[in-house]
Amino acid sequence: MTPPRPLDPSLVPASFAKVRQNQETVIRRWHEAEAGITTWESALAALAPREAEGWAATCERLQLINTFQWHEEDKSRDHGVGDEALGAIKRGIDASNRRRVQTVDSLDDIIFTGLKQGGALNQDAPLNSESPGSIIDR
């Protein structure tokens, strides 16, 4: 077996510290715009990722999904919420979970593609943890 080549740093982030910076930025921006956020669509309109595509934009979108979902879950715990409203909130949480899983999968694709292109992905290596996207999601 040929050992993988050293990773070309241009293919993946130079520092995973950018993940934390993106997460903190999304949360800060959320609180600045929170009064106008009532639906996923309004969250996305107010807080669209600052980059159009790629690794950082996908991480930013994942954090936005999680922040939106946490707020929806808080609403579902309100003892004063009626059954009809609770049902709508729960359906929104289900839709958010689907978005989250799809975004984690997209993040994995981006990371694995970068590693593969850089010759740093060993296809025969066992997966001994969650996927990179799932780890970032945590």
Residue 25, pLDDT > 60, answer yes
- Rounded to 10 degrees, the C-alpha dihedral 17/18/19/23 comes to 110
4: in domain: no
106: in domain: yes
Q: Which pLDDT score, from 0 to 100, does residue 15 have?
A: 57
Place of tokens 């959320």: 30
22: in domain: yes
5: in domain: no
Q: Which pLDDT score, from 0 to 100, does residue 54 have?
A: 80
94: in domain: yes
Residue 22, pLDDT > 70, answer yes
Q: Which pLDDT score, from 0 to 100, does residue 56 have?
A: 84
Residue 105, pLDDT > 90, answer yes
DSSP code at position 119: T
101: in domain: yes
- The residue segments making up the domain with residue 76 are 17-120+130-137
6: in domain: no
79: in domain: yes
Domain count, the chain: 1
70-84 as b/e, with b when 16 or more CB fall inside 10 Å? eebeeeeeeeeeeee
Question: pTM of the full predicted structure?
Answer: 0.79
Residue 47, pLDDT > 80, answer yes
